[in-house]
Amino acid sequence: DTEVTQTPKHLVMGMTNKKSLKCEQHMGHRAMYWYKQKAKKPPELMFVYSYEKLSINESVPSRFSPECPNSSLLNLHLHALQPEDSALYLCASSQVFHEQFFGPGTRLTVL
């Protein structure tokens, strides 16, 4: 299996909702990442997990809460989001210090 999968593909939520984004890889990668990408902009790093431990948090607001239950899974829990949080959320994985492989993304709309 050589891909990163993400669910759901699309998500529409209100500002009071709680939802979760999921990411899975079976390539044996030990680093996993969450990125946020706005239209016509490059991906912006949010979080990095190395060996299931959070190693980088790029000063992301607490309404975004990452979780890495095991080496294959990465979740992003969303709560009380704002309309400006609407974006494409990309998950990626890699061997440590190697090229990152991206999933197809979740298109999030916050109403």
Please, which residue, 52 or 79, has the CB nearer to another protein? 52
Count of residues that interact with another protein, criterion CB under 8 A: 23
- For CA atoms 100, 103, 104, 105, the dihedral sign is negative
Query: Rounded to whole angstroms, how far apart are CA atoms 38 and 26?
Result: 27
Residue ranges in 61-100 that form contacts with another protein under rule CB under 8 A: 90, 94, 96-100
Residue 110 as a binder of another protein (CB under 8 A): the answer is: no
Amino acid making up residue 78: L
Query: Rounded to whole angstroms, how far apart are CA atoms 47 and 33?
Result: 6
Contact window for another protein (CB under 8 A) among 19-27, 43-51, 66-74, 79-87: 43-51
Amino acid making up residue 103: G
Footprint of another protein (CB under 8 A): 31, 33, 41-45, 48, 50, 55-56, 90, 94, 96-105
